[in-house]
Amino acid sequence: MNTKFIDLRSDTITVPGQGMLEYMFNAKVGDDVWEEDETVKELEFELAKLFSKEAGLFCPSGTMANQIAIRVHTKMGDEVICDELSHIYNYEGGGLASNSGVSPKLIKGNFGRISVDQITDSINPDDPHFSRTSLVCLENTVNKGGGVCYEYKDMQSISEFCINKRLKLHLDGARVFNALVSRSDSSYDYGKLFDSLSICMSKGLGAPIGSILLGDINFIHEAKRIRKSFGGGMRQVGYLAAAAQYALKYNIERLSEDHRRAKEISDCLANLNFVQNMRPVETNIVLFDINKNINDFNQFLMKNSIKASFMGVNTVRFVTHLNFTDSDLEKLLIVLRALN
C-alpha cells in the first residue's frame, strides 16, 4: 500500500494545486532577460508597491536574492553584521565569502533577533586593521530561531540607527508574510525600514519556485547585473511569476491556519516528557530538543508516516504548510502522545 506521508520537514515541499496550475498555464510570457515578460513585470511591480519600494527583481531562489543584495551593498573585504543563526551565514554555502568576498560579524541574539546595542558593539572602527562594516542583515521570521518575529518598533530602531551610521540594512524576509500575519503588521511600513528585502514565494505561500528582491531603482538596476552574472536571468519565467501571483492572492491570509496548527503541535509537545527546550512558537515553525536518541525518534516517526527535519544532535523541526490539514494534525498529535 502506498501510505501518504505527513511531511513536516519544511514549508518548501508543497506542490501547486489545480488552481495555481491553471493560473500558470494561462500566464502571458516573454523573454524576461529582454524584459519582455509581462507577468514577471506585473509581479515585481505588485510586490514593490506592497512593500513601498520602487522596484523588484524576480530571482530563482531566496539564496540568490540574498546573495545579490549582499553583493550590491558591499565591497570586497567588508564585514556584514548578522545573527549567528542567520540563513545567510549558515545555509547559503559560504556565499558571503565566495560571491562577495565579505565576512560575517556574528551576533548572539534573542532566538536570532538582534538589537541596536548589539549592532553598536559590532561596528568596526575606521582603522585599516579592521574590515569595513557596511551592511546589517536581519531575518524575519528567523528560521533557525524557531520562526520568531521581530517587534516592528525594534526593527524601526535598527533602521534609524543604520541610517545614522550609514550602514545598509537588508531584510532576509523569506517568511516575511508569516511575520506580517502573526503580528498584524503592515507590509507598506515594513518596506520603509530596509534598503532591500528578499521574499520567498516558495515557502509558506506555496509557489513552486521563486523569490523577489525589492529596493530602490538604482539598487535593482545593479541587482539585475549581478543576477545575470550569477546565472539567474531566466527567459519565459512568467509561468513561475503567475504561480507567485496566485499565491499572493489566495495564500497569505491562510497562513494564520498554519500558525494555529503549529501552536497546537507545540502545546501538545510541551506536555510530553521527552521534549525539552521548546522554542517560542509564533508562526509556522516548531523547534524543540528531545532527550531521546534522535535516530530512534526519526524511525518511530517514519514508521507512522511522519517526516520531520533535524537540526543538530537533538533538535527537531516541524514546519506547517498548506498541504498539512487538520486531519493530519490530529494524526500527528496521536502519534506524538503515544511516544510519551
Chain residues binding ligand PLP by CB under 6 A are: 61-63, 66, 87, 139, 143, 172, 174, 200, 202-203, 211
Compare residues 123 and 195 and give the one whose CB is closer to ligand PLP.
195
Cell numbers placing 125: 572602527
Minimum CB separation from ligand PLP for residue 149, in Å? 12
**283: cis peptide before it, omega within 30°?**
no
Compare residues 169 and 200 and give the one whose CB is closer to ligand PLP.
200
Nearest to 37 by CA among 210, 216, 250, 248: 210
Minimum CB separation from ligand PLP for residue 259, in Å? 16
Cell numbers placing 73: 551593498
Compare residues 99 and 211 and give the one whose CB is closer to ligand PLP.
211
Minimum CB separation from ligand PLP for residue 264, in Å? 22
Compare residues 123 and 174 and give the one whose CB is closer to ligand PLP.
174
Spell out the residues 6+ positions from residue 24 whose beta carbon is closer than 8 angstroms to its own.
Answer: 16, 239, 240, 242, 243, 246
Spatial distance between the Cα atoms of 256 and 155, rounded to a whole number of angstroms: 22
CB 200 within 8 A of CB 211: yes
Minimum CB separation from ligand PLP for residue 299, in Å? 27
Minimum CB separation from ligand PLP for residue 337, in Å? 29
**On the CB side of 246, how many CA atoms lie within 13 Å of its CA?**
24
Compare residues 92 and 336 and give the one whose CB is closer to ligand PLP.
92
Spatial distance between the Cα atoms of 229 and 248, rounded to a whole number of angstroms: 29
